[in-house]
Chain A
Amino acid sequence: MKDKLDKAVIVQEALKELPSSTRRLFLKRTLTLGGLSLLTGCTVTDEDSAERMLMKISRFNDNVQAWLFDPNKLAPTYPESMITKPFPFNAYYDIDKVPEVNGEEFKLEVSGLVADKHSWPLAELYQLPQTDQVTRHICVEGWSAIGKWGGVTFATFLKRIGADLTAKYVGFKCADDYYTSIDMPTALHAQTLLTFTYGGKTLPPEYGYPMKLRMPTKLGYKNPKHIVAIFVTNTYPGGYWEDKGYNWFGGV
Chain B
Amino acid sequence: MKPVHQITHPFWLRLNHWINLIVVVIMVLSGWRIYNASPIFDFVFPKGITLGGWLGGALLWHFAAMWLLFLNGVMYLLLNIATGRFKARFYPLRPRDLIRDLIAALKGKLAHDTLTEYNAIQKLAYLFVIADVILLVMSGLVVWKPVQFPLLRELMGDYDSARIVHFFGMVALVLFFVVHVVMVALVPKTLILMIRGR
Contacts and interface: CB of A to CB of B under 8 A. Distances in A.
B51 A244 contact: no
Nearest to A53: B64
B58 to A, nearest CB: 8
A92 interface: no
B53 A68 contact: no
B59 A246 contact: yes
Interface string A130-174: 000000101111111000000000000000000000000000000
Given A29-B54, A54-B60, A58-B63, A34 B48 contact: yes
A42 B143 CA distance: 32
A111 interface: no
A216 interface: yes
On chain B, which size bracket covers the interface? 35 or more
B60 A33 contact: no
A35 interface: yes
B148 interface: yes
B60 to A, nearest CB: 4
Contacts of B29: 33
Nearest to A142: B38
Nearest to B46: A34
Contacts, number: 100
B53 A28 contact: yes
B163 to A, nearest CB: 6
Contacts of B51: 33, 38
Interface residues of A, number: 41
Contact of A32 (B34, B53, B146, B148): B53
A95 interface: no
Contacts of B57: 26, 29-31, 54, 245
A166 to B, nearest CB: 23
A30 B53 contact: yes
Interface in B6-54: 29, 34-35, 37-38, 40, 47-54
B148 A144 contact: no
Contact of A30 (B48, B52, B153): B52
A72 to B, nearest CB: 11
B159 interface: yes
Given A57-B60, A251-B145, A31 B53 contact: yes
B67 A57 contact: yes
Given A57-B67, A142-B35, A34 B47 contact: yes
B16 to A, nearest CB: 21
Given A30-B54, A138-B146, 11 more contacts: A35-B48, A54-B57, A57-B60, A57-B67, A58-B63, A75-B146, A136-B159, A142-B40, A241-B56, A244-B56, A251-B148
13 contacts: A29-B57, A32-B53, A34-B48, A57-B64, A65-B145, A74-B147, A75-B147, A76-B150, A138-B146, A142-B37, A245-B56, A251-B148, A252-B148
Interface of A: 26, 28-35, 38, 53-55, 57-58, 61, 65, 68-70, 73-76, 136, 138-144, 216-217, 241, 244-247, 251-252
